[in-house]
């Protein structure tokens, strides 16, 4: 049996999504107007995006979205959106020294021209994919308003905000034609093994989730801006407040400041910490909380584990830092014996890395080996299902550990029937198998990525340490952002060869969609052709 | 009283035989031969026909009946028969069901399907098994308010840790009421400072969990606790309900079921039970699982033959006590003769419950204690009851008799009565009272 898919229906709906994506470029356009910057970059970007969108839409004027088309749509739309997202980077950087700008050096041989063109396109795609997938890894090189416009840096922040709760979820909320197979679409896109329908209508569920997401974002922006108004954080102007509001809730990690959150004082850092932690919680739980069902949240096994893990790991890291695990650094570094600083740095780094945000207040790449290794461990955990966080996710770890314990127990007593339970609920055996397969795939891809990146880098003469290579792979597939060593929180991915960057683009894409939808489409397609 | 019984199987016949002496009984059975035969066996009128059809019920003069008992083997026939009877007249309807599902539905309104009282044979059987297994020290155990409340009577041995304590010391449990003490043929209404003596019989009323915990205090040797092994063989509905009720009492049984899907379902529904998927009549398996060292084996397989086999195997391996479900009433004595400690017959249990209910008359439910010296009654308070709006203290003071409020259930939740608890219409009250005052009390509810 051939795996038949009406590709044109999927591509046509991708066109619709791109059309709406063009509309969001109005925000950076407005920023350009306010800061009296070059407005043409975004005007042209909008025109190109609309043209692509309308063009693709025409492929199938009445797209009929079945379950297979939905699966394909989710996979290709994240790639398509990332591709369209490169347009402003390429245009804005044209003729400048920007690493992501369109470079057309004249007068050299054709090979050199193509090479330079290729590099800039790969860089722009990396930055765009890193944005939409809320990874936060950057190849921008020098981040400053001298080098890049306010508008472009705001676009970079905005891509993360759009990607956080999910582009498809947003589209389901506003496009009636996507509601038919909305549940299938959402379960492919939303992080976590299971889809939670809050209301009978999927569009209402999507709307509820986006409104909660929007609500938290607005709350954070107001809090941050208030800090600057009352003089507690003068550097946090409206632009910065919005920019960081855009990347905290989606567990993004981009910042228009070269020093990330270290550019701001302790007060700002303390305000951002709870919001980063909130971003890693299942947003459906806040919906229950708003309806007064406090118990649903408090009794949720994943939430309890997530909160517990953050508390314990933060406590351990605080102690490590307190005992001098980090040499005193200029950028918000810790000094031995300063309790508040140790606690704040620990809470911030864990809040940022455990659920894959990727902000930084300290260059943990300079910390002692054991503290770095401890952070690496935290990166493996991930956020909760239904949150904006990346990684393996707390719920999967819970199920995997319980499934392993069950397996060991039934090896000794083969007659015992023991379902895997989560907070009193029985987890379906198919779901258990899916979760185990996902976790295994995650680690296979992680190791494969690390090996490829290490060898590929050596090819162009860049020697990586094992920790750096593993962290590059983990930071991209887990949508975390910063790694260790050269990839530290104030470092950059710029030095990698193009081939490695392309692999990382794929890893980010796979990581955001939780591997299975993308690979399922590929495997089903390839096996049937072969 | 004019009583109509539908179904002349074991249950129906047993009920009809019991009621025939004092009441006018009409028995309906679908099998004409059976109806004809029963006419000579019992002093009742018989009718051949479908008990769920209007014509048959009109022939049986259900319109003038005081009580209608649907006791066929088929749940739906019984429910439809009760519903039909309610359209013809207004008898008090009693339905026998197997499925616990229907019971749960009925409990929500206590009038669903036109049924006034529902007797669930699977649940009743499970309850009697759990009483045997869980409370071996009890002289008498009865469930009230659909199993939410339990009454148990214990004899205090000389070596019981409770002997010599005061009531206040012994009653450490939140939802347990010390209802009464029998000493040398006298009823003593216990106060906090009443001393419990060896040889007393104590009546407690409370949640099944608290009664279980009290039994553990009273007779730690006999009463099973978490450390004791209880093995249930067979995941039938009765087996499932037994495991569920044992779990509710804080025990963790093992349940053996052969069918893969059923075993999985049981494991999902019973988080506190260790479910094993295996043929329970495999001797090697039973030996490997050390069934011989278990304190109780309960056989709840689907056929009597397999239950017999499993019980005999367990006995031969050396299990202490074996309880078996026996579907065919004629086998009960046979089972017990071979050495099975208790044989529970669902039909017999069901018939007894229905008969117990028809005797009660004034009360929803009744348990007679110590040669009818005292009774435990369950009454539902109506809107115009004298007791509605009274606190327990006022109610007790207003009634000139020896009486203890054992438990109250409101909206299917247990409320432990305190002096200031106010009674409301619709409450079920479980009361310990001297037999001579039963009528007076019932008239107030």
**Confidence check: pLDDT of A112 > 70:** no
Q: Give the nearest chain A residue to B274 (CA atoms).
A: A416
Q: Which residues of B touch A421 (CB under 8 A)?
A: 271
For chain A, how many structural domains are there in total? 1
More confidently predicted of B292 and A504: A504
Show the tokens assigned to B62: 């259900």
Taking the CA of residue A91 and the nearest CA in chain B, the distance in Å comes to 59
Interface probe with B: pick from A301, A409, A416, A417, most Cβ of B within 10 Å? A417
Q: Are B344 and B324 in contact (CB under 8 A)?
A: yes
**What residues form DSSP beta bridges with B430?**
B378, B407
Q: Are B429 and B381 in contact (CB under 8 A)?
A: yes
Show the tokens assigned to B427: 């409450």
| Residue A495 within a domain | no
Q: In what order do the strands lie in the sheet with B254-257?
A: A416-417, B274-277, B254-257, B230-233, B296-299, B321-325, B342-344
pLDDT, residue A330, reads 42
pLDDT in tens, chain B (445 residues): 888 999 988 889 988 888 888 888 899 999 989 888 888 888 888 888 898 888 888 888 888 888 899 999 899 999 999 999 998 888 889 999 988 888 888 888 878 888 888 888 888 889 888 888 888 777 778 888 877 888 888 888 888 888 888 888 877 777 888 888 888 878 888 877 888 888 888 888 888 888 888 888 887 777 777 667 889 999 899 999 999 988 888 888 999 999 999 999 999 999 989 999 988 888 888 888 888 788 888 999 988 888 898 888 888 888 888 889 998 888 888 888 888 888 888 888 888 888 877 765 556 677 777 777 788 888 888 888 888 888 888 877 777 677 788 888 888 888 888 778 888 888 888 888 887 777 777 777 6
DSSP tag of B331: G
Distance CA A374, CA A309 (A): 13
Q: Which residues of A touch B285 (CB under 8 A)?
A: 415
Strands B274-277 and B296-299: unpaired
Give me the half-sphere count of Cα atoms (radius 13 Å) on the Cβ side of residue A320.
Answer: 23
pLDDT, residue A472, reads 92
Distance CA B314, CA A422 (A): 35
Closest Cβ–Cβ partner in A416, A421, A424 for B275: A416
DSSP result, B347-396? HHHHHHHHHHHHHHTTSSEEEEETTTTEEEEEEE--TT-TTTT-BHHHHH
Q: Is the ipTM of this complex over 0.85?
A: no
**Confidence check: pLDDT of A107 > 60:** no
Report B:258-297 residues touching A (Cβ under 8 A): 263-264, 266-268, 271, 274-278, 285, 289
Show the tokens assigned to A315: 């406590």
Q: Which residues of A touch B266 (CB under 8 A)?
A: 417
Q: What region, left, alpha or beta, does residue A501 occupy, with left being phi > 0 and alpha being psi -120 to 50 degrees?
A: alpha
Of A401, A416, A56, A396, the closest CA to residue A194 belongs to A396
- Largest Cα separation within chain B, whole Å, is 65
Mean pLDDT of chain A: 86
More confidently predicted of A202 and A212: A212
Distance CA A402, CA A435 (A): 12
Burial A387-417 (b: 16+ CB within 10 A, else e): bbbbbbbbbbbbbbebbeebeeeeeeeebbb
Q: Which domain holds residue A41?
A: 7-207
Closest Cβ–Cβ partner in A413, A417, A424 for B263: A417
Q: Are B262 and B235 in contact (CB under 8 A)?
A: yes
Strands B274-277 and A416-417: antiparallel
Q: Are A283 and A311 in contact (CB under 8 A)?
A: no
Taking the CA of residue B343 and the nearest CA in chain A, the distance in Å comes to 28
A443: Cβ–Cβ under 8 A, 6 or more apart, which residues?
Answer: none
Of A129, A134, A196, A127, the closest CA to residue A161 belongs to A134
**Contact call for A417 and B276, based on CB within 8 A:** yes
Please give the CATH superfamily to which domain B2-115 belongs.
NAD(P)-binding Rossmann-like Domain (3.40.50.720)
Show the tokens assigned to A60: 């199938």
Q: How far is CA A254 from the centre of its chain?
A: 10
Closest Cβ–Cβ partner in A413, A417, A424 for B267: A417
pLDDT, residue A104, reads 65
Task: Report yes or no: A412 at the B interface, CB cutoff 8 Å.
Answer: no
Give me the half-sphere count of Cα atoms (radius 13 Å) on the Cβ side of residue A162.
Answer: 27
Other beta carbons within 10 Å of B191: 10
More confidently predicted of B366 and A378: A378
Q: Give a three-class secondary structure readout of A221-261.
A: HHHHHHHHHCCCCCCCCHHHHHHHHHHHCCCCCCCCCCCHH
Three-class secondary structure of residue A289 per DSSP? helix
Closest Cβ–Cβ partner in B268, B276, B277 for A419: B268
Q: Which residues of A touch B274 (CB under 8 A)?
A: 416, 418
pLDDT, residue A75, reads 87
Q: Which CATH class is domain B141-218?
A: alpha beta
**Contact call for A417 and B278, based on CB within 8 A:** no
| Residue A390 within a domain | no
pLDDT, residue A151, reads 92
Highest mean pLDDT among A271-275, A487-491, B209-213: A271-275
pLDDT, residue A307, reads 93
Task: Report yes or no: B437 at the A interface, CB cutoff 8 Å.
Answer: no
B240-243 contacts: CB < 8 A, separation 24 or more? B240/B266, B240/B269, B240/B270, B241/B100, B241/B122, B241/B123, B241/B125, B241/B126, B241/B127, B242/B126, B242/B129, B242/B130, B242/B133, B242/B298, B242/B300, B243/B270, B243/B273
- Largest Cα separation within chain A, whole Å, is 77
Burial class (CB in 10 A: 0-12, 13-18, 19+), A295: exposed
Tell me, yes or no, if the pTM score tops 0.90.
no
Show the tokens assigned to A90: 């390429």
Distance CA A444, CA B189 (A): 73
**Confidence check: pLDDT of A328 > 60:** no
**Confidence check: pLDDT of A202 > 70:** yes
- What architecture does CATH give domain B355-444? 2-Layer Sandwich (3.30)
pLDDT, residue A527, reads 72
Interface probe with A: pick from B274, B286, B287, most Cβ of A within 10 Å? B274
**Contact call for A417 and B275, based on CB within 8 A:** yes
Q: For A117-139, what is the mean pLDDT?
A: 90
Q: Give the model's confidence band at A50: pLDDT under 50 very low, under 70 low, under 90 confident, else very high.
A: very high
Distance CA B310, CA B320 (A): 14
Q: Phi and psi for B69 in degrees, rounded to 5?
A: -120, 115
Q: Do domains B2-115 and B230-351 have the same CATH topology?
A: yes
Closest Cβ–Cβ partner in B266, B271, B276 for A415: B276
Distance CA A76, CA A82 (A): 10
pLDDT, residue A200, reads 80
Of A145, A144, A161, A38, the closest CA to residue A88 belongs to A38
Of B368, B410, B360, the closest CA to residue B388 belongs to B410
Report B:54-83 residues touching A (Cβ under 8 A): none
Q: Are A138 and A487 in contact (CB under 8 A)?
A: no
Interface probe with A: pick from B268, B278, B287, most Cβ of A within 10 Å? B268
Distance CA B20, CA B23 (A): 5
**If you count them, how many residues does chain A have?**
530
| Residue A445 within a domain | no
Distance CA A141, CA A125 (A): 15
- What architecture does CATH give domain B230-351? 3-Layer(aba) Sandwich (3.40)
Interface probe with A: pick from B267, B270, B273, most Cβ of A within 10 Å? B267
Distance CA A278, CA B45 (A): 75
Is the C-alpha dihedral spanning A425, A428, A431, A433 positive or negative? positive
In chain B, where are the structural domains located? Answer: 2-115, 141-218, 230-351, 355-444
Residue holding tokens 């009421």? B177
Q: In what order do the strands lie in the sheet with B413-415?
A: B365-369, B374-380, B428-434, B403-410, B413-415
Q: Phi and psi for A265 in degrees, rounded to 5?
A: -80, 180
Of A128, A277, A278, the closest CA to residue A212 belongs to A278
Of B320, B371, B327, the closest CA to residue B347 belongs to B327
Distance CA B292, CA B179 (A): 39
Type and span of the H or E element at B228: none
- A177-195 pLDDT, tens per residue? 777 677 777 777 777 666 6
Taking the CA of residue B267 and the nearest CA in chain A, the distance in Å comes to 6
pLDDT, residue A133, reads 92
From residue B382, how far is each of A117, B82, B437, B443 by CA, in Å?
Answer: 88, 23, 19, 11
Residue holding tokens 């329908």? A197
Show the tokens assigned to A20: 């709406």
């Amino acid at each position: 049996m051939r795996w038949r898919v009406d590709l044109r229906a999927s591509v046509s709906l991708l066109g619709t999504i791109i059309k709406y994506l063009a509309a969001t470029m109005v925000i950076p356009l407005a920023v350009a107007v306010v800061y009296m910057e070059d407005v043409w970059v975004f005007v042209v970007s909008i025109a190109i995006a609309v043209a692509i969108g309308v063009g693709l839409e025409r492929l199938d004027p009445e797209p009929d979205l079945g379950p297979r088309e939905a699966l394909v749509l989710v996979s290709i739309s994240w790639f398509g959106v990332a591709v369209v997202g490169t347009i402003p980077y390429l245009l804005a950087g044209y003729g400048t020294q920007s690493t992501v700008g369109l470079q057309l050096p004249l007068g050299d041989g054709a090979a050199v021209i193509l090479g330079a063109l290729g590099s800039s396109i790969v860089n722009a795609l990396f930055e765009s994919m890193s944005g939409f997938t809320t990874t936060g890894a950057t190849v921008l090189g020098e981040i400053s308003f001298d080098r890049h416009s306010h508008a472009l840096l705001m676009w970079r922040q905005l891509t993360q905000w759009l990607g956080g709760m999910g582009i498809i979820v947003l589209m389901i909320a506003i496009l009636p034609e996507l509601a038919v197979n909305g549940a299938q679409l959402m379960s492919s896109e939303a992080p976590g093994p299971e889809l939670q329908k809050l209301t009978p209508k999927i569009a209402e569920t999507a709307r509820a989730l986006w409104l909660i997401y929007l609500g938290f974002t607005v709350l954070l922006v107001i809090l941050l801006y208030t800090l600057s108004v009352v003089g507690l954080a003068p550097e946090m102007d409206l632009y910065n407040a919005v920019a960081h509001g855009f990347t905290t809730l989606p567990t993004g990690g981009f910042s228009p400041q070269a020093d990330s959150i270290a550019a701001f004082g302790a007060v700002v850092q303390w305000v951002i910490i709870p919001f980063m932690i909130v971003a890693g919680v299942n947003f459906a739980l806040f919906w229950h909380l708003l309806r007064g069902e406090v118990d649903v949240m408090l009794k949720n096994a994943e939430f309890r584990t997530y909160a517990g893990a953050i508390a314990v790991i933060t406590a351990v890291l605080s102690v490590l830092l307190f005992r001098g695990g980090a040499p005193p650094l200029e950028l918000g570094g810790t000094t031995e014996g300063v309790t508040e600083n140790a606690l704040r740095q620990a809470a911030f780094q864990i809040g940022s890395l455990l659920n894959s945000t990727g902000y930084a207040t300290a260059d943990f790449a300079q910390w002692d080996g054991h503290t770095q290794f401890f952070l690496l461990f935290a990166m493996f955990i991930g956020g909760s299902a239904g949150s904006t966080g990346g990684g393996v996710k707390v719920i999967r770890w819970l199920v995997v550990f319980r499934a392993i314990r069950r397996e060991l127990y039934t090896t000794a007593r083969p007659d015992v029937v023991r379902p895997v339970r989560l907070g009193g609920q029985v987890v379906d055996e198919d779901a258990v198998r899916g979760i185990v397969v996902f976790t295994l795939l995650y680690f296979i891809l992680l190791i494969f990525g690390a090996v490829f990146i290490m060898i590929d880098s050596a090819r162009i003469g860049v020697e990586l340490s094992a920790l750096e290579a593993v962290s590059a792979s983990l930071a991209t597939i887990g949508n975390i952002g910063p790694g260790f060593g050269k990839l530290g929180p104030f470092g950059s991915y710029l030095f990698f060869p193009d081939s490695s960057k392309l692999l990382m683009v794929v890893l980010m894409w796979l990581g955001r969609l939780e591997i299975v939808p993308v690979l399922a489409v590929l495997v089903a397609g390839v096996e049937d052709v072969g | 009283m004019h009583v109509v019984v539908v179904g002349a199987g074991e249950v129906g016949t047993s009920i009809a035989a019991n009621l025939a002496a004092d009441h006018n009984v009409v028995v309906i059975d679908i099998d004409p031969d059976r109806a004809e035969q029963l006419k000579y066996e019992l002093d009742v009128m018989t009718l051949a026909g479908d008990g769920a059809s209007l014509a048959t019920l009109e022939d049986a003069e259900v319109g003038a009946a005081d009580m209608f008992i649907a006791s066929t083997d088929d749940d739906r026939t019984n429910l439809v028969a009760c519903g039909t009877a309610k359209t013809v007249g207004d008898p008090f309807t009693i339905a026998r069901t197997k499925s616990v599902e229907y019971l749960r539905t009925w409990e929500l309104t206590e009038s669903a399907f036109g049924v006034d009282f529902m007797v669930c044979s699977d649940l009743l059987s499970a309850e009697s098994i759990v009483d045997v297994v869980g409370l071996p020290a009890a002289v008498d155990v009865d469930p009230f308010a659909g199993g939410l409340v339990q009454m148990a009577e214990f004899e205090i041995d000389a070596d019981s840790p409770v002997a010599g304590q005061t009531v206040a010391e012994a009653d450490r449990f939140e939802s347990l009421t010390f209802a009464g003490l029998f000493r040398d043929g006298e009823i003593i209404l216990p106060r906090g400072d009443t001393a419990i003596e060896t040889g007393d019989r104590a009546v407690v009323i409370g949640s099944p969990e608290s009664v279980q915990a009290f039994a553990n205090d009273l007779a730690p040797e006999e009463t099973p606790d978490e450390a004791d092994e209880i093995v249930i063989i067979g995941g039938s509905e009765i087996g499932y309900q037994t495991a569920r009720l044992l779990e509710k009492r804080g025990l963790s049984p093992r349940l053996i079921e052969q069918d893969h899907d059923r075993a999985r379902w049981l494991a999902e529904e019973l988080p506190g039970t260790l479910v094993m998927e295996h043929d329970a009549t495999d001797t090697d398996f039973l030996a490997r699982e050390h069934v011989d060292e278990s304190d109780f084996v309960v056989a709840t397989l689907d056929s009597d033959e397999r239950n017999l086999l499993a019980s005999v195997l367990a006995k031969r391996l050396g299990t202490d006590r074996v309880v078996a479900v026996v579907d065919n009433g004629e086998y009960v004595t046979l089972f017990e003769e071979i050495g099975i400690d208790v044989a529970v017959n669902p039909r017999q249990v069901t018939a007894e419950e229905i008969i117990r209910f028809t005797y009660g008359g004034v009360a929803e439910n009744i348990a007679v204690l110590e040669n009818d010296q005292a009774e435990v009654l369950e009454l539902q308070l109506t809107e115009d009851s004298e007791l509605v709006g009274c606190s327990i203290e006022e109610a007790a003071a207003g009634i000139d008799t020896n009486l203890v409020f054992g438990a109250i259930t409101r909206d299917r939740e247990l409320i432990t009565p305190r002096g200031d608890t106010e009674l409301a219409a619709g409450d079920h009250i479980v009361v310990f009272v001297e037999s001579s005052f039963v009528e007076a009390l019932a008239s107030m509810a």
